[in-house]
Chain A
């Protein structure tokens, strides 16, 4: 069993509390709990409140999940309902 690298840094960019954003948040929490064994942090950035942050991570779509750490940066857009694609996108080896 390969050990996951330390402390994943995940950012979820949303534009206000929309159904998609809520769904995405609940989804990523679920996946992270299952596959990252707690070694993660999820930060929620609301672009409506802080629009200038969109530029930094090149955010186009909403919701977007950005894996800041470990490198390289990966972005997943959508409500994250497709678990397999999320895991592939984040390059997480499923632990279950």
Chain B
């Protein structure tokens, strides 16, 4: 009988050797970096950031990972390169002086060259080899080797030599980046992807609705899993950052601590007395319903408890916000001065969604706030369609939860006659933990503001619509006033209150009147009793006198009888 041998278990702990890229976020997407000792192809159109990405790879390799590098430029002379990247804080000259970096400019000038007969590109190999050996480089960039195609005619030799070159690079054991221009039908104009196929990354730069966004995608990565989607990335004054891809699994830590909302009375509407730390709260409402005020209250409360807070305002400048809140008694200015509160304002249309996300993530890394307020998130929709905004919000919420930051979003929505939220709100609202709605309730000839809690994950809450006022002392939630048809607001409540007071007064008066009546009756009865008593006494007196008189008469009569007998 044939025994079936069990197959050898796969080595689960094997990690494909990788070189960290030095680009924020790219390491996460590639799960470690570029393949070590192998060439990676980066292709993209003009101005996509290929040179920058490769330069950052080299420089961060030197400064952060201690791996020296060689940059062979086929397009820009050394001096131009140094100047171009200086604005990003990359000092090429210093690194060159420290013998950590070699920048070699290979000029291929067609007019200078005459091809006569057979040749090979050993000259290039030797140069490259010499450069790598001189600084003992582990990282090499060839930017962009397609320039050779413009300078040299003999394609056959060129392609054969390129194949040899990449093979040689692998043998040398350096991690190389090759850049190439985007081609029409092929990934690169000259079809470099035939030779460099261990890892291919494509950069893209497109304009959607007048806002430009840069995207990056890993097309293939031999030997390793990787993120396969398009990831937006940004070029700012510190170089390239790919957007943080925080945990795609939902396994962040949670806390049971409760933070106050800052609005007196709102906390009482929650069974737990506030919001869970690390949760997100959506405050939605129509125009002019105090959403920003609630956000400011929340900020002020957190700052009062000495918790660092960031407020992102997409509609008002910091000065305007501070002034407006001062008018209702909230002093945000003093927290800003103390360094507890940071207010960032920018028009959403100024930058793409990704830039906002990146700014926020940078701020979170540097400032480490415990609370973030975005006011409002609804006009981010102007910079992207619903799907994009939603995906950005998902990433935002992921990032906030991973850092256990309590977040409050305000959102403006369209006016509807009933209390049902509109569709746009609903798609966002499923992401948040707590949803508070502030509504305008139009009564007869007036509008009143009401606040109610639509949902609150993990915490019980009141189901009433509480009316609130905003005065110079701030937000004040009014007591609930019931009428025959439910809760009353505004003038109706006031009139109902007045009626109630009148009723109470009447009742009191009635009771008083009855008391007085009892008193009176008692007095009457008591008087009656007095009169009867007096009568009784006088009758007794009369009868007494009568009795005495009769006794006297009978005594005299008896005495007279006695007297006559004796004579």
Q: Which of B108, B119, B126 touches A79 (beta carbons < 8 Å)?
A: B119
- Report if B117 contacts A (CB, 8 A): yes
Q: Which of A51, A59, A77 touches B115 (beta carbons < 8 Å)?
A: A77
- A81-B119 contact, Cβ under 8 Å, with A51-B129, A52-B130, A58-B107: no
Query: Quick one: closest A residue to B108, CB to CB?
Result: A60
Name, among A15, A20, A78, A81, the residue most crowded by chain B CB atoms within 10 Å (CB to CB).
A78
B126 A63 Cβ-Cβ under 8 A: no
- Report if B498 contacts A (CB, 8 A): no
Tell me the A53-85 residues at the B interface (CB within 8 Å).
Answer: 54-55, 58-64, 72-82, 85
Cβ of B64: which chain A residues have Cβ within 8 Å of it? none
Tell me the smallest distance from the CB of B467 to a CB of chain A, in Å: 80
Query: Quick one: closest B residue to A19, CB to CB?
Result: B118
- A82-B122 contact, Cβ under 8 Å, with A52-B130, A55-B127, A60-B108: no
Cβ of A42: which chain B residues have Cβ within 8 Å of it? none
A63 B119 Cβ-Cβ under 8 A: yes
Cβ of A74: which chain B residues have Cβ within 8 Å of it? 112, 114
Query: Quick one: closest B residue to A47, CB to CB?
Result: B126
A77 B126 Cβ-Cβ under 8 A: no
Tell me the smallest distance from the CB of A77 to a CB of chain B, in Å: 5
In the complex, A94 Cα to B127 Cα: how many Å?
35
Tell me the smallest distance from the CB of A76 to a CB of chain B, in Å: 5
B123 A60 Cβ-Cβ under 8 A: yes
- Report if B120 contacts A (CB, 8 A): yes
Query: Quick one: closest A residue to B114, CB to CB?
Result: A89
B114 A85 Cβ-Cβ under 8 A: yes
Tell me the smallest distance from the CB of A28 to a CB of chain B, in Å: 10
In the complex, A60 Cα to B121 Cα: how many Å?
6
Query: Quick one: closest B residue to A59, CB to CB?
Result: B123
Cβ of A63: which chain B residues have Cβ within 8 Å of it? 119
Cβ of B113: which chain A residues have Cβ within 8 Å of it? 75-77
- Report if B104 contacts A (CB, 8 A): yes
- A62-B116 contact, Cβ under 8 Å, with A51-B130, A55-B127: no
- Report if A22 contacts B (CB, 8 A): no
B114 A75 Cβ-Cβ under 8 A: yes
In the complex, A61 Cα to B125 Cα: how many Å?
9
A61 B119 Cβ-Cβ under 8 A: yes
A79 B123 Cβ-Cβ under 8 A: no
Query: Quick one: closest A residue to B124, CB to CB?
Result: A60
Q: Which of B106, B112, B126 touches A73 (beta carbons < 8 Å)?
A: B112
B116 A47 Cβ-Cβ under 8 A: no
- Report if B360 contacts A (CB, 8 A): no
B121 A61 Cβ-Cβ under 8 A: yes
- Report if B355 contacts A (CB, 8 A): no
- A47-B117 contact, Cβ under 8 Å, with A60-B108, A61-B152: no
Q: Which of B109, B118, B122 touches A47 (beta carbons < 8 Å)?
A: B122
Chain B 137-156: CB-based contact to A (< 8 A → 1; otherwise 0):
00000000000100010000
B127 A88 Cβ-Cβ under 8 A: no
Cβ of B123: which chain A residues have Cβ within 8 Å of it? 13, 15, 47, 54, 59-62, 64
A75 B120 Cβ-Cβ under 8 A: no
B152 A85 Cβ-Cβ under 8 A: no
In the complex, A10 Cα to B116 Cα: how many Å?
16
Query: Quick one: closest B residue to A74, CB to CB?
Result: B112
In the complex, A61 Cα to B109 Cα: how many Å?
13
In the complex, A24 Cα to B117 Cα: how many Å?
9
Tell me the B70-124 residues at the A interface (CB within 8 Å).
Answer: 104, 106-109, 112-124
Q: Which of B106, B117, B120, B152 touches A81 (beta carbons < 8 Å)?
A: B117
In the complex, A47 Cα to B129 Cα: how many Å?
11
Cβ of B117: which chain A residues have Cβ within 8 Å of it? 20, 23-24, 78-82
Cβ of A62: which chain B residues have Cβ within 8 Å of it? 119-123, 126
Query: Quick one: closest B residue to A78, CB to CB?
Result: B117
- Report if A86 contacts B (CB, 8 A): yes
Query: Quick one: closest A residue to B154, CB to CB?
Result: A78
17 contacts between A and B (CB under 8 A): A15-B123, A15-B126, A20-B117, A51-B129, A52-B130, A54-B123, A60-B123, A60-B148, A61-B119, A61-B121, A72-B112, A75-B112, A79-B117, A80-B116, A85-B116, A86-B114, A88-B114
**A residues adjacent to B (C-beta < 8 A):** 13, 15, 20, 23-24, 47-48, 51-52, 54-55, 58-64, 72-82, 85-86, 88-89
Sample of 12 more A-B contacts, CB < 8 Å, known A62-B121, A76-B116: A20-B117, A51-B130, A52-B130, A54-B123, A58-B109, A60-B106, A60-B124, A76-B113, A76-B114, A79-B118, A81-B118, A85-B114
